[in-house]
Chains A and B, each alone.
Chain A
Amino acid sequence: MSTDTRMKPVDAVIIGFGWTGSIMAKELTDAGLSVVVLERGPARDTSPDFAYPRIADELKHAIRGDLWHPLATETFTVRHKTGDTAVPYRQYGSFVLGTGTGGAGAHWNGQQWRASPNDLRIRSLYEERYGRKFIPAEMTIQDYGISFAELEPHFDHFEKVAGVAGTAGNLRGRIMAGGNPFEGARSSEYPNHPLPPILSSQLFADAARELGYRPFPVPAANSTAAYTNPYGVRMGPCNLCGYCEGFGCFLYSKASPQTTILPVLKGRANLDVRHNAHVTRILLDGSRKRATGVRYVDAAGRQVDQPASIVVVAAFQLNSVRLLLLSGIGTPYDPRTGKGTVGKNYAYQMVSTTSAFFGEDVAMNPFVGAGAAGQQAIDEFNADHFDHAGAGFVGGAIIFAGAMGGRPIAQMPLPPDAPKWGSGWKSAVRRHYAHSSSVATMGSVMAYRDRYLDLDPTYRDAYGQPLLRITFDWHPNEYRMTAFASARAGAIVRAMRPERVTQHILQPGDSYDVRYYQSSHTTGGAIIGTNPASSVLNRYSQCWDVPNVFVLGASSFPQNIGYNPTGLAAALAYFAAAKIRSDYLKSPGPLVAA
């Protein structure tokens, strides 16, 4: 491949302008570096792109996915096990991808969690508490080699940047009323107070309390007050408009790169953001131990080389892993031998839903909803917050409730026996739309030897490069996890005393199904660890093999967690940035001895 243009070398190039790319752009330009950001999608800002009333369009945004990455140009292939033929993920279903300014962070939901301290040292914890045999042989879970205390200042900072609304549950070791008593010790309160629960979450919280659980407001990156973040950027109060997940926020309330970080980057002389710039590979020198920059295709279709001393890969979990494989960085993982690391430990999340159908006298007003504001959760059955000895599985789930908008095309809860069309369907829609609610469990998924990512041998993207292939299906551990968590969710919903309760729970034998939205929380493939033989990155998100390449995002999670991932991805990005600024810039090279 010959290139058409070679740009002036810069200190750092960042691939992707989503959450983690924006964080790194801020930190590296603060440090005085010359930085180029390459973003494959268009430039987008609150105005005019998310302006009311055009944004309040369910069909355009949440169904057709106008703000999402168009799969026509680049997608993934999926199969359930090695030996099967993987086929393309041709239409959106199970997860959604971002593009353009803000990435998925422009149209995410804003459920803003920290990891649990024991999520970060999962293998050690289970071995200490339950014995080595508790972890199945094929389960390849690993510790991060980073303690919660080390990450805490970065969780705290990101919450302040994002204006998160919540109630502290563990303030410097003191358990606080009304918050999550299972959270790791936090150094300060949330920067915003939570909104009062909407009816569906109030009913859930009351029922949970009746059963002896401790419900609390879901931490929401939906600002609940006029708020100015540490960068001096102002956010406005969320009005629970109902057009949140899948949409950009027209009120400057939902935290996104454009509502929290990018305003202070505008006009910085040492930052050059190029949109419609699709990176096709990271360039290496002859030793293959050093990146010299990246190659991208610009809007006019020209191949452009951008030399840089540091390459930050912030292209979202799946894309970042694919870029490493396309560039020949590190050794691709081989599921037969268990050797190699790039593509290893791919995981997803397992969700279940319990629906509550009430009488027509209960006005649920499901359209009053947000990404996370007004929601309630319990954390009793997540991480290692309960004794797993008799449970027979590793991991757990949060259980949460609240409406996200009641948008009638996609968010139309009907009992499973309701007709799918005809008069019966219409009656069911009329009867249930405004009088039902649901409670979800979002469960962790462990990593396994036979669940991984590699390059597809057949399918290519619009630039002629191989697609990334996902080999994934559920394991027995996760069916047990979801049965356990869903039984508890079911008990809570029955205590809400609706007329009818139905549950959607994956059963042993149900394969991973790409047709239905579950969560956009894919993880792994370029994982953090303590040893180059079993991980791609060291604790500072730095490639063991090519130390001037840093990889951000949930690709670094060695296994999935029972929380939404962005809080942890952002904290790891700030943690890496701090180390780059304090040490790497002074003496570039490996930050951890291999």
Chain B
Amino acid sequence: MNDSPDPSIRPAGQPSTSDAPGGRRGFLRGTATVALSSVLLPSRSAAPGGGHRPGQAAHETYSPVYFTPAEWAFVQAAVDRLIPDDGNGPGGVDAGVPVFLDRQMELPYGHGAYWYMQGPFHPDSPATLGYQMRLTPRELYRAGIAAADRACMAKHGKAFAQLDAATRDAMLALLEQGKTPEDGGVAAAFFALLLKNTREGYFADPMYGGNRGMAAWKMIGFPGARADFTDWIDQQGKPYPYGPVAIEGSAGGKA
């Protein structure tokens, strides 16, 4: 319920397919599984916001405001691995998570407006005392992506986005564990924020740019902004029959 919740210490608390065009899904799945054809990825990410193809999903034509072309390629390639399009519900890229991330970078959140950012900074404090770096979210993305790409170049001679899926997974795992060279903790902090923000974009209301078509909500059976269970209070254990609604009012249909 806050910036870094541990769901395991909160009393907490259908399969559906993405409603994105089938061609898009097939395209993405191809890039994720055809390990050798790494040429596919750069070709899609080299021209962010570029030439609109018929049937192309809206977010493919999205021009990032904050991220540079190289960063945008990284973000798409990373989100594609954090929440893959694996036939098991919507993938993060299809769901618009990269768009969500780019928009967040431009909001007060991205500028660190929610955080106490006065020094001195003691990044070597015990991890249990929380985030202690000087970087705002947008600065952490910039530094983190650069560090990640440097690590990929050093190890594989290619930028992250040009690696095949399995190698990207392996590099993400190194980032997560802070085991990439010369990162001074930036990579691990960046990975943690990227993962957190990616989940946010996946499950937040679609008006923020992610969770397109409420696909992530449909996947788990969350009714979104319905916020009215008067008729359901005493229907213990009966599966909830209604699909989600979004804040701006669109109904997503049954899961």
Chain A residues with a Cβ under 8 A of chain B: 52-59, 62-65, 68, 70-72, 75, 78-80, 85, 87-93, 96, 195-199, 202, 237, 239-243, 245-246, 250, 351-353, 355, 362-363, 365-369, 374-375, 400-414, 416, 420-423, 425-427, 429-430, 433-434, 436-440, 458-460, 502, 504, 511-518
Is B93 close to A, CB under 8 A? Answer: no
- Which chain B residue shows the least CB distance to A62? B1
With the chains together, A250 CA to B225 CA distance in Å? 13
Interface pairs (18), CB distance under 8 Å: A56-B227, A62-B1, A68-B2, A72-B112, A199-B237, A239-B227, A240-B232, A246-B2, A363-B237, A369-B13, A409-B203, A411-B13, A412-B7, A426-B83, A433-B220, A439-B11, A459-B118, A511-B128
What is the interface residue range for chain B against chain A? 35 or more
Complex contact B199–A409 (CB within 8 A)? yes
**Distance to closest chain A CB from B52 (angstroms):** 29
**Distance to closest chain B CB from A14 (angstroms):** 27
Complex contact A71–B126 (CB within 8 A)? no
The prevalent SS among residues of A at the interface is loop
Complex contact B118–A460 (CB within 8 A)? yes
**Distance to closest chain B CB from A258 (angstroms):** 19
Task: Please pick, from B112, B208, B233, B236, the residue contacting A202 in the complex, using a CB distance under 8 A.
Answer: B236
Complex contact A72–B7 (CB within 8 A)? no
* Contact indicator per residue, chain B 91-132, by CB within 8 Å of chain A (1) or not (0): 000000000000000000100111111101010011111111
Contacts of A52 in B (CB 8 A): 227
With the chains together, A406 CA to B219 CA distance in Å? 14
Contacts of B217 in A (CB 8 A): 408
CB-CB under 8 A for A408 and B220, given A241-B228, A513-B128:
yes
Is B145 close to A, CB under 8 A? Answer: no
CB-CB under 8 A for A365 and B4, given A438-B10, A515-B130:
no
Complex contact B9–A518 (CB within 8 A)? yes
Contacts of B1 in A (CB 8 A): 62-63, 96, 245-246, 407, 410-411, 517
Further contacts, 11 of them, CB under 8 A, given A93-B3, A351-B9, A411-B10: A55-B227, A59-B204, A68-B2, A80-B126, A93-B2, A195-B233, A416-B8, A423-B84, A430-B219, A512-B128, A515-B130
Complex contact A368–B11 (CB within 8 A)? no
- Which chain B residue shows the least CB distance to A362? B237
Complex contact A408–B10 (CB within 8 A)? no
Complex contact A407–B128 (CB within 8 A)? no
CB-CB under 8 A for A85 and B9, given A90-B130, A246-B2, A430-B220:
no
With the chains together, A179 CA to B35 CA distance in Å? 62
- Which chain A residue shows the least CB distance to B109? A64
With the chains together, A116 CA to B219 CA distance in Å? 44
Is B216 close to A, CB under 8 A? Answer: yes
**Distance to closest chain A CB from B8 (angstroms):** 4
Is B240 close to A, CB under 8 A? Answer: yes
Complex contact A440–B82 (CB within 8 A)? no
Complex contact A353–B249 (CB within 8 A)? no
The 9 closest A-B pairs by CB, nearest first: A516-B6, A406-B13, A366-B13, A56-B225, A411-B13, A59-B204, A241-B227, A433-B220, A363-B239
Complex contact B4–A516 (CB within 8 A)? yes
Complex contact A353–B10 (CB within 8 A)? yes
Is B54 close to A, CB under 8 A? Answer: no
Is B81 close to A, CB under 8 A? Answer: yes
- Which chain A residue shows the least CB distance to B221? A434
Task: Please pick, from B10, B208, B224, the residue contacting A517 in the complex, using a CB distance under 8 A.
Answer: B10
Is B51 close to A, CB under 8 A? Answer: no
With the chains together, A432 CA to B221 CA distance in Å? 11
Task: Please pick, from B82, B198, B222, the residue contacting A367 in the complex, using a CB distance under 8 A.
Answer: B222
Contacts of A409 in B (CB 8 A): 199-200, 203-204
With the chains together, A584 CA to B131 CA distance in Å? 47
Complex contact B13–A426 (CB within 8 A)? no
**Distance to closest chain A CB from B61 (angstroms):** 24
